[in-house]
Amino acid sequence: MDTVFRDVRVIDGSGGPSYRADVALADGRIAEIHRETDGGPRPSAARVVAADGLALSPGFIDMHAHSDLALLRDPSHEAKAAQGVTLEVIGQDGLSYAPVDDTTLAEVRAQITGWNGSGPGSTDIDFDWRTVGEYLDRLDHGFDGAGIAVNAAYLIPQGTVRMLTVGWDDRPATADEIARMRRLVAEGLEQGAVGLSSGLTYTPGMYASDAELTELCREVARYDGYYCPHHRSYGAGALQAYEEMVALTREAGCALHLAHATMNFGVNKGRAPELLALLDRALDTGADISLDTYPYTPGCTTLVAMLPSWASEGGPEAILARLKDDATAERIRHVMEVEGADGCHGVPIEWDTIEISGVSDPGLAGCVGKTIARSAAERGERPWVTARRLLVNDRLGSTILQHVGHEENVREIMRHRVHTGGSDGILQGYKPHPRAYGTFPQYLGKYVRELGVLTLEDCVAHLTSRPAARLRLPDRGLVREGYRADLVLFDPATVTAESTFDAPRTLPSGIPHVLIDGRFVIEDGRRTAVLAGRSVRRTPARRG
């Protein structure tokens, strides 16, 4: 044996009662679990860790992460490793960096600079891949061949696929274009992706019809993957948007995982039970559905995402040209403030809920931490004037916190039987959302210990075995003999998310040890130099 955790409280991820045991590791796997009630000799090892008072669980799986480039830029990646995250699912919201050609890569880098940094002109990362397989190979190589901080699974981004095939036009795809998109999706799945994501309030993915999306989901179903949409509305049309995704995936025969499944804005206050009833009806008739949420009320995205979709047609340079034209900018303002832009989920924008959390241009840092309404008042101008100037001067790179959530909805949804945890953590910006550094200890500390919304055993199942089942991973997500030793040791009495909106990059407390493949990534509360992470690829047999 390499390591034994002595007298630890095992929370095995199944949702069943915890128990005391010695847990022994060898060759990167759980070799022996010797329960307190078992007879015979206790396991011994080269290293014995006295774990009385600590809980041992499977490593946490972040079902919605935006670490696509952070994993290649930051070998430490403490934002996730210190939370106990051992696997992240990236390629989210229909926009990421594979598959691409040279033109599409430049466009997507510009579009999601606010999410991931490394915009056009930056040289911090060598973008030497073009296919999904090449990107996963790059993750495996990581830093000088040593790997990356935590494991990563990849979703093929539908918006990027449409950008590569159709471009930025708001029009139906032709039959030949749909056939090419299906081939790209199939190739990505064959190369190891776990499914397909969409961002249906982001361009150009939002230009796809349900019929087009259904065809892509048929390909996902053939490979036993899953579809993960950021659907068409989390606001005025939220329930209809959820129903649309359920119907679409039922038609395609595809598993569905609902990304950051929130019910936001004033129109949805207290309406979480309606969403859950909709999902229960589908589940009870055989649908394969899961969802993820983060345990906070504000959302986080880019400021440019708030614009109406027609203003984003053609890509970043076309957007900037429209914003610089006074007449077109006035049309954009009217849609956003009076009608409710589709980019803002059909709800008229409330500038006092839009807080700037990050900028690409350091010269604009004075805007960070202020709402658009406050910045406008300080300048004695209308909020749209401030927002327009920021969009143009920051070249669309600004990120925002959107304070439109409801605590009762957050609690109701996290109790659901198919709920999993996802941080949706954007790591860029001067003042990122604290969920990037705090989601998993926030579940364990606030919602288990302090509020009792979930039991500890149930919560751990939400964060481990449920996502592992969605990802079809046969040897992760449970503390079982023979399973991979991706493990977290935490103190249930003290585990706390220390990140706040004022100090969002503060690491959590109460998580002394995190292991990947039996190697200590976090040891005694400190990040080690171990780079045990790799791409987690599925190679399912194609059906039909």
Could you tell me if residue 497 is left (phi over 0), alpha (psi between -120 and 50 degrees) or otherwise beta?
beta
- Measured between alpha carbons, how far is residue 372 from residues 222, 355, 507 in Å? 46, 6, 28
Q: Which residue has the tokens 């604009």?
A: 364
pLDDT in tens, 181-198: 999 999 999 999 999 999
Structural domain spans, the chain: 60-297+405-474, 302-403
Structure tokens at 383: 């909020």
Cα separation of 338 and 347, whole Å?
Answer: 9
Question: Between the CA of residue 534 and those of 100, 249, 305, 481, what are the distances in Å?
Answer: 22, 30, 31, 22
Q: What CATH number is given for 60-297+405-474 in this structure?
A: 3.20.20.140
Given phi > 0 = left and psi -120 to 50 = alpha, else beta, which region is 162?
alpha
pLDDT band at 62 (very low <50, low <70, confident <90, very high): very high
* Among 290, 261, 158, residue whose Cα is nearest residue 217: 158
- Whether 544 shows a pLDDT value over 80: the answer reads no
Look at residues 298, 287, 280 and name the one whose alpha carbon lies nearest to residue 254: 287
The pLDDT tens digits for 408-450 are: 999 999 999 999 999 999 998 888 999 999 999 999 999 999 9
Measured at the CA of 140, the angle between CA 139 and CA 144, to 5 degrees, comes to 90
3-state secondary structure 100-165: CCHHHHHHHHHHCHHHHCCCCCCCCCCCCCCCHHHHHHHHHHECCCCEECCEEEEEEEHHHHHHHH
Q: Mean of the pLDDT values across residues 236-262?
A: 97
**pLDDT tens digits, one per residue of 493-514:** 999 999 999 999 999 999 999 9
The band of 119, judged by pLDDT with boundaries at 50, 70 and 90, is: confident
Name the DSSP letter for residue 236.
Answer: T
The amino acid at residue 119 is G
Q: Strand, helix or coil at 89?
A: strand
C-alpha span between 129 and 108 (Å, rounded): 14
Are β-strands 419-421 and 47-50 bridged in parallel, bridged antiparallel, or unpaired?
A: unpaired
Query: pLDDT tens digits for 275-328?
Result: 999 999 999 999 999 999 999 999 988 999 999 999 988 889 999 999 999 999
Spatial separation of the C-alpha atoms in residues 113 and 128, rounded to whole Å: 18
Ranges of beta strands (E only) in 151-206 are 151-157, 195-199
pLDDT per residue as tens digits for the range 137-164:
999 999 999 999 999 999 999 999 999 9
Quick check: 32 pLDDT over 80? yes
What secondary structure does DSSP assign to 318-368, as a single string? Answer: HHHHHHHSHHHHHHHHHIIIII--GGGTTS---GGGEEEEE-SSGGGGGGT
Q: What does the alpha-carbon distance between residue 50 and residue 144 come to, in Å, rounded to a whole number?
A: 34
Tokens matching residue 507: 């690491």
pLDDT at residue 540 in the model: 61
CB 442 within 8 A of CB 435: yes
What's the rounded mean pLDDT across residues 484-497?
Answer: 98
